[in-house]
C-alpha cells in the first residue's frame, strides 16, 4: 500500500512540475528573482518591488518576455 501511495505522490509531483514549466517560458523572471537582482545591483528592495508590480501587467507574479520590454 505504501509503495503504491508513494508512486502516486511522485507521479503527481512530476505532473505538477511539468505543468508549471510549461506555464512559464525560459526567459520569464519571478518577482523574487527580479528583486534579488535589483538589490544585488544596489537598488532599494521596496523600490524594486514597486517597479516589478508596475511591469507585471497581468499580476501573475512573473515577468514574461513581453512584460520585460
Q: Is 10 inside a domain boundary?
A: yes
More confident position, 16 or 55? 55
Tell me the pTM.
Answer: 0.63
**Residue 34 burial (C-beta neighbours within 10 Å; 0-12, 13-18, 19+):** buried
Q: What are 26-52's pLDDT values in tens digits?
A: 889 999 999 999 999 999 999 999 999
Q: What are 51-69's pLDDT values in tens digits?
A: 999 999 999 999 998 999 8
Which CATH number is 9's domain given?
Answer: 1.10.238
- Tally of structural domains, the chain: 1
Instruction: Identify the domain containing residue 19 by its residue range.
Output: 2-63
More confident position, 23 or 61? 61
Amino acid at each position: 500500500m505504501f509503495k503504491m501511495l508513494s508512486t502516486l505522490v511522485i507521479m503527481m509531483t512530476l505532473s505538477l512540475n511539468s505543468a508549471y514549466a510549461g506555464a512559464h517560458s525560459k526567459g520569464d523572471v519571478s518577482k523574487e528573482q527580479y528583486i534579488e537582482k535589483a538589490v544585488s545591483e544596489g537598488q532599494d528592495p521596496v523600490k524594486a518591488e514597486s517597479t516589478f508590480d508596475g511591469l507585471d501587467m497581468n499580476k501573475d507574479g512573473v515577468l514574461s518576455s513581453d512584460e520585460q520590454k
